[in-house]
Structures are given as C-alpha cells and as structure tokens.
Structure 1
Amino acid sequence: MNAPDTAELGGSGLRVGRLGFGTGPLGGLFSAVDDEQAADALAAAWDAGIRYFDTAPHYGAGLAEERLGAFLAGRPRAEAVVSTKVGRLLRPGPAVDGTDGFHGAPARVRVWDYSEAGVRRSLADSLERSGLDAFDLVLIHDPDDHWESAVREAYPALARLRAEGAIRAIGVGMNQCAMLGRFVAETDIDCVLVAGRYSLLDREAGRELLPRCAERGVGVLVGGVFNSGVLADPRPGAAFDYAPASPEVLRRARELAELCAAHGVPLAAAALQFPLRHPAVTGVIVGARSAAEVEANAAAASLEVPEALWAELDTWEATA
C-alpha cells in the first residue's frame, strides 16, 4: 500500500487516503507535544503523501485542531481532506493536566452536547480554532451514553448541513461496534470510524459491523490499529485501549510479533495493513506525535507483506 492511495468513502463522492493522519497525539495524548514537534510531524505526513487528516475538539481540548489548522494554512487546502467531530463543546475552565489522557492542553473543559444547537456551535468553534473555511467530513463522536440525542438531534443536524453543501460527508466515530451498527441500520450516514475494534488483537467489527456496512454501502474508517500502542511495540508498560496492557494481552501481542518476525515483517506493518485487507474498509487513521513516527508508519504502510503471513494470522485469530 502506498500512502497517497485514495478510495471513495461510501457513496459520498469524497475520496480519502487509505492512510490518514490522526491528530490525537498532537493534542498531547499520553504526554505533551510542543508546537515545533507537532508541526514537524504534520510536515512529515504531507511529505509522505498523506492528505487525509482527522481531528476533534476532544483532542487536547482544541489544541489538535489549532495545530492542524496552522499547518494547513501554508498548504493548498483543496489537496487536503479534513474531518472533525461533534458531541463535546469546549468552555473556558481550569486546565488539569492529564484530563481524559491529554497533557499540555489549554484551559478548557469539555461539555457533552449532541443537540442541533450544540452541533452547530461545535462546528463554528472548530472552524474558528482551526482557521479553516469548511470541514469535508464530520463525525458524531463517542455517543455511547447519548443515543437518543445523537440520533434524534445530532444526526439530523449533520444531515441538513450535508444537504446544504456545508459538509461533504457525515458519520459516527466510536470505540464500540453495537451502536455503530445501529447508526448504519437506522440512518443515512456515509461512514463509520471504528477505533480499536478491528485490529490483529480485536476483530469484533469483522463479525457484524463490517458486513453490514458493505451491504448498505457505508464507508469504514479504522482507527486504533495499534490498540493504543501494544501492536506497535509489545514491551512491558505498553498501552492497550488507553490503559496499561494486561499480561495476557502482552502475551498475545508478542505471539503475533513472533509470527510476523518469522516472515521478516515487523508487527507494526502487519497491524497497520491488516484492516485494509477487508473489502468494506476505506482507510485507516494512524496517530503520530513526531516526524519519526510518521515516517515509520508510512514505511509500514508500504512494506510488502507475504500472503503466507496473512494466512497464518487468520488462522491465529481463529484459534486465539
């Protein structure tokens, strides 16, 4: 796979890169990132041919949106595809380092809001923070405990903005499959962003969600391909789903690493490319906090993985 490759997102007409850049780390996820480091990471992504960038107000309480917008101000906007999210409004408040896993964030607090007014306020604020004139894709973010307001208010609000031409595509982004499946079945979204549930370690989305998306022509973006880091480097202390990995998860990740090593393939390369083998998957979104990480991800995306390894990994999943 080459980074510049693109594919249409569902039936939206919007084409996104098969490899997208996730800006969560640029908001200080797990540890703080300074402005220069963030700019270098974004520049490395651009140089690698990556043109799809995913952000959200949640990422560093707006810091990721600000940094992405500052970077894109010096690049041809028409060449980039940018997604952001709604569901959390930002209000002035005390900066508590480490809130929701983010460090070095501005003095803002997050307020859940999936109302139509909240959606429009969120997008207006995101445009102001980023300095962009529009977003290409907007996702309802983490509505786990807010199904009714998300489906009755946030979704219709985004659908109207899409009909008006203010947004090119809409969807939902979550770390679970069940509610994403309900959105696919009950609404006219263009895509889902499923994080952490379609990886070498966790293939839940492949059982029902991805087939349902394929049946209805809904695009699929996959985040969390490294499950917070353990599939990039399964060392002691590695994270899994935003928390320290358990001994059992570490054991399974190391077993995967050994299978890959026997074929001369780094675990990270197999983990990054694995979701793209599914015909329902449009692209993967991979976060990075430095130019070196971006370059490593781009190399992993383009490394040739032998079919014999994929066959072993498929068998491993069936018996794991």
Structure 2
Amino acid sequence: MGPGGAAVRCVIGCAALGGLYAPVSEAAAHEALQAAWDLGFRDFDTAPHYGVGQSEEYLGSFLAGRPRDSFTLSTKVGRLLVDDPGAVDGTDEFYGTPKRSRVRDYSAEGVRRSLEQSLGRLRLDRVDVLYVHDPEDHLEQALGEAAPELARLRAEGVITGYGVGTNFADVALAFLRETDADRFMIAGRYSLLDRRAERTLLPACADKGVRLVVAGVLNSGLLADPRPGAPFDYAPAPDWLVAAARRMQAVCEAHGVPLRAAALQFPTRHPAVAAVVSGAGTAEQVHDVRAQLDVEIPAELWAELDAVLPDQDRLP
C-alpha cells in the first residue's frame, strides 16, 4: 500500500494531541506523530479548538524542518484564542492545556486572524485546507462572511481548498448549496452504525463532485469497544444501541475481522468519500490504525453488517 494506505486514504486527526480527555506531553505527541510518519501517513488534521492551540503547536513543532510539500495539513476557523489566566482546566474535555479561552468568530476578519494565529502555532507559511468549524449556531455569519473570505483566500493561492467541518449533515448541505466550498468533513454521521448522512449529504457531494472526508468513524468509541455505557456521539450510548454495536461485532468476529477494521474501512466504500479521519493520540494507537486499515475484509461481510443496521430514526 502507498502512504496512508492505498485502498483507504486516512488522515491523522490530532484532537487527542490537545489533551482530549487526558493531558498529553509534547514528547508523547511527537512519539505518536513519529509513528504515523514512519508508517507512511502524510495527511494531518487539527484545529485551534483542540487544546486551545496545543494540538497545532505540537504538530507544528513535529513538522518543523520537514519539506513542506511532503505532507498536507488542514486546520479550522471559527474559534479565536485569547490568553486567559483564569481558564479552567478540562474545558470542553481538553486537559493540561495552555491558559487560553475560545471566542467564536465567523467574520471575514475572524477568518484572517484565525489563519494568522494558526500559522504562528504551526510554524508554517501556509496550510492546505481550512474548514469552518462547528458553525451550526452561527450559520448565517459563517455562510455570509466566513465562506466568501475563504473563497478569496483560495483564489489568492493562500489555501488550496476550503469547506466546513461539522457533526450535522444539514449544516454541510447548507454550505454545499450556498457556497463554492470544495470539500466537506462530516463527523459521526456516516459510520457502520450511523448512516444518516447517506440519505442526503453523500449523494449531493457525489453529484457536485466535491471531496468528502469522514471523521468520527468509531462514533466516539462505541465501535471501538461496544461495552455497556460506551460513548456514542460524546454521551453514554443507550443500551439498545450498544446491543446493535455488539451484533455488528459478532458478525465481524464470525469472519475473523475486528470491528474497528470494518468501521475504519466502511466509509470509503462510497464513491463520494475521499478519506477517513482517525484520531491517534499514542504510538500504539497509530500502529493499531495501520493494522486495521490493512485487514482484508470479505465482500459478503458488508451485506451482513447492513442486515443488522439499527433503526436510523431512533439514533440519539
């Protein structure tokens, strides 16, 4: 396979490097990133939101000195960071982070300032892609100000592409209809368990020929370890959904396939999907991602998994 896997292109998501759920040292972050690099991964995704800039800082220090054309990198706009001595550790589930707070800003000026701040933390003179991050509660400004500014940045050659990163298919569809965004990142809504984006967003992206990147393929952990109380969409999964995930696990095990492997490889079976994003906060996790991407999955397994798909209208 080629870098990051030939059959399944995988972007390394760097939220965990921002101290998601537990503090992460720079040394540990570099160990995880080095493992990814050694295994051939060359696509990275981060955001100011992740650890109030810590993820970008750790990623930037790791990439320093590496040829700029040897990797691609996406980050996001919509949250400006300000120094805040009173910042509370654990805000938004990020721990051991710098003393900063987030300020939502989807204005044109906010986009420029966010990019300038990110470039400083990343120690780079450019990023490849900018996503408008979680704009669902600020959609009018994001569509009316952030998107046109990102289009200008793309036209100026400052970035190669822009789009939206969201957990909501209808938000992505709004950008698809009302902007000339050329790539979209949807989290959690196209997985083995949750196919809600398949109804509308995926065919719309296919029709327009835009790139769709799928994140959250493990649904916050339920598809990694379907145990009672496992998280789905950042909250404890109801018992009936855990049972559904366990049925999928049993189907996979009957074929000798780990559930994680099927979950990681599933999204790119759809022609609209260009890549999956997999978070990897430790070297061990990176090696596991590589191993799961390399698992051979028999064609008949997908049909058997479809047969135990839970009722999509009941999903939280």
TM-score interval, normalised by the smaller of the two chains: over 0.9
The correspondence for 2:96, drawn from 74, 83, 104, is 104
In structure 2, the partner of 1:296 is: 288
1:132-151 aligned within 5 A: 132-151=124-143
Mapped to 1, the partners of 2:16 and 2:234 lie a distance apart of 12
Mapped to 1, the partners of 2:172 and 2:34 lie a distance apart of 33
Aligned partner of residue 184 in structure 1, secondary structure = helix
In structure 2, the partner of 1:270 is: 262
2:224, 2:259 within 8 Å by CA — same for their partners in 1? yes
Q: Tell me: higher relative CO, structure 1 or 2? Use CA pairs within 8 A at least 6 residues apart.
A: 1
Q: Would you say 1:241 and 2:233 are equivalent positions?
A: yes
Shift of residue 143, structure 1, vs aligned partner: 0.3
In structure 1, the partner of 2:64 is: 73
Deviation string, structure 1 residues 182-228 (Cα, Å, up to 9, x no partner): 11112111111000000011000111100000001111000000011
| Identical counterparts, % of pairs | 56
Mapped to 2, the partners of 1:231 and 1:2 lie a distance apart of 26
Shift of residue 249, structure 1, vs aligned partner: 2.2
Mapped to 2, the partners of 1:32 and 1:2 lie a distance apart of 33
2:186, 2:214 within 8 Å by CA — same for their partners in 1? yes
Q: Which amino acid aligns with 2:152?
A: R
In structure 2, the partner of 1:82 is: 73
The correspondence for 1:117, drawn from 109, 113, 129, is 109
Give 5+ residue unaligned stretches, structure 2.
Answer: none
1:18-37 aligned within 5 A: 18-37=9-28
Mapped to 2, the partners of 1:48 and 1:172 lie a distance apart of 28
Aligned partner of residue 297 in structure 1, secondary structure = helix
1:167-182 aligned within 5 A: 167-182=159-174
Mapped to 2, the partners of 1:285 and 1:44 lie a distance apart of 16
In structure 1, the partner of 2:151 is: 159
Deviates more, 1:33-42 or 1:105-114: 33-42
Shift of residue 166, structure 1, vs aligned partner: 0.3
**Aligned length, in residue pairs:** 311
In structure 1, the partner of 2:183 is: 191
Q: Which amino acid aligns with 1:182?
A: A
In structure 2, the partner of 1:13 is: none
The two structures, once aligned, show a CA RMSD in angstroms of 1.6
Give 5+ residue unaligned stretches, structure 1.
Answer: 8-16
Mapped to 2, the partners of 1:249 and 1:110 lie a distance apart of 33
Mapped to 2, the partners of 1:126 and 1:38 lie a distance apart of 18
Mapped to 1, the partners of 2:274 and 2:199 lie a distance apart of 17
Aligned partner of residue 145 in structure 1, secondary structure = helix
Distance change in 2, residues 1:26/1:316 (3 Å): same
Mapped to 1, the partners of 2:5 and 2:12 lie a distance apart of 13
Mapped to 1, the partners of 2:263 and 2:243 lie a distance apart of 16
Deviation string, structure 1 residues 221-275 (Cα, Å, up to 9, x no partner): 0000001111111123422112222222221111111110000000000000000
Mapped to 2, the partners of 1:226 and 1:318 lie a distance apart of 15
Q: Which amino acid aligns with 1:112?
A: R
Mapped to 1, the partners of 2:96 and 2:237 lie a distance apart of 24
In structure 2, the partner of 1:12 is: none
The correspondence for 1:92, drawn from 51, 63, 83, is 83
Q: Which amino acid aligns with 2:59?
A: L
Deviation string, structure 1 residues 115-149 (Cα, Å, up to 9, x no partner): 00000000000001111110000000000011110
Aligned partner of residue 236 in structure 1, secondary structure = coil
Shift of residue 74, structure 1, vs aligned partner: 3.6
Q: Which amino acid aligns with 1:216?
A: K
Mapped to 1, the partners of 2:229 and 2:3 lie a distance apart of 30
Q: Which amino acid aligns with 1:56?
A: A
2:212, 2:274 within 8 Å by CA — same for their partners in 1? yes
In structure 1, the partner of 2:214 is: 222
Aligned partner of residue 285 in structure 1, secondary structure = strand
1:174, 1:195 within 8 Å by CA — same for their partners in 2? yes
Shift of residue 170, structure 1, vs aligned partner: 0.5
Shift of residue 32, structure 1, vs aligned partner: 1.4
In structure 2, the partner of 1:38 is: 29
Q: Which amino acid aligns with 1:99?
A: T
Question: Normalization by structure 1: what TM-score?
Answer: 0.94
Aligned partner of residue 21 in structure 1, secondary structure = strand
